[in-house]
Chain A
Amino acid sequence: MTLALLLAALLAIACVVTVAWPFLREPEPESDALEKLEPSERRRLDLLEARDRALAALKELEFDHRTGTVSDDDYRALVGPLRREAAATLQALDDGALPVEEVDAREGRPARERIS
């Protein structure tokens, strides 16, 4: 009984420390705000997804054409719109949604830590 209660108390203390750890580790952080994606960054993320989707679709179409799953006629009908779609997203990325470093620099924000 006593041992069980002792172990239970230790467990509870360990859990409290785990939960409190972010506050113990950084008692007075520079900023406690959650980083959010700015509208321009979210737009860029959407465009990057669209670009990857279009490029993957092109790749798959090329392969399906090579295997014979897609006929020559169908390939010719499909490849044009897909290429235009990929080109449009690449153009939009170049034009409108600037890389984040550039956005940060333009808006006077400090450089961010990145995923390595």
Chain B
Amino acid sequence: MKKLLGITLGILTSVGGFVDIGDLVASSQAGARFGTAHAWVLLVGVIGICAYAEMAGRVVAVSRRPVFDLIRERLGPRVALANLAGSYVLTVVTLGAEMGGVALALQLLTSANYLVWIPLVGLVLWLALWRLKFATLERVFGLGGLALVVFAVAVFVLPTHWDTVWHLASRPGPPSGTETWPTYWYFAVAIFASALTPYEVFFYSSGGVEEQWTPKELSQSKINVFVGFPLGGLLALSLMIVATVVFHPLNTSVSALGQVALPPTMALGRIGLALAILGFFAATFGAAMETGLSCAYTVAQYFGWPWGKVLRPVKAARFHTVLLVSILIGMAILLTTIDPIQLTEYMLIFSAVALPLTYLPILVIANDRGYMGERVNGRFANALGTVYLIIVLAAAVAAIPLMIMTRAGA
């Protein structure tokens, strides 16, 4: 019974933790402008993150070392340094976007401008990461993120025309006359990147070390990945469907977090709105913690410093310093007054460019018998991993040209 509870809790945490500011923005914007024509991209993205998260989990459970640590050892310090630089810059920008999401959720709740909240969000985030235990953080915010299930409920309460939803989903492409193919592909890249954001893998693998996974925990890890992530993907699909129902017929677009909350408000009134805002808060705060920790994990693992929440801060002073500096950088980015939604849009496109840096090394290490012994990738995992590597490369090459051609999806 206790084991079953543990599995359920793990799955629920994965579901709630899957959606972050990138998913909130990309799925809603795509739903408003293209209906469900990008639903297939969500499916492709979820399969990709499942394939690579499973590999990363297996690497951690077998080697008992995090992926970034192994990248440096396996690929050498120069390649790993390039990887670290790209990953760190991107993750710290993502941290800024997530903190902006938290501040925007507080703005919806209080009507005070989000900029007022940023110093407080930074402070609370740092205190939470300093004081609270890893499992507590993961569960509180993962479960809080489940409030986003309100979007799935709204799908059934709103007057959803399922034939239209299916029609759009089964004929990928831009609606005739109003949108273009480059814009369609620009959003496809953004949605794909939102499902495979690099920090997810760094956090997942480092979290596995924090929780001291062994090969015995592999089955639990697989259940969390193969059940939790697809259910999280369904939440992202719900965001897309409600935007299709409410915004797409009006030919309007989504450019603020407040707009994302309109469909559950229309469907369920104040309860729907309250749950949506709670979900935004928990999902973005949880993701801010994950990205903050990921920044510190990658730097500490590259330089071989003591790291992790399992150690007391005094034993991992440099790890906690990087964490604090990353939070300050995230705050500084937001205090330039850049719109957090725009920041998220740019973050997703630059994430797409950096995806190969994250996923190629995982595939290499998961095939290395020196680390993995008998648990190296099988044929299926390799075939899937290779196909996804090609998709990831295509997205990386196309991302910037599409951004320029479409004026960032305008």
Asked if A and B are interacting partners, one says no
A interface with B by C-beta (< 8 Å): none
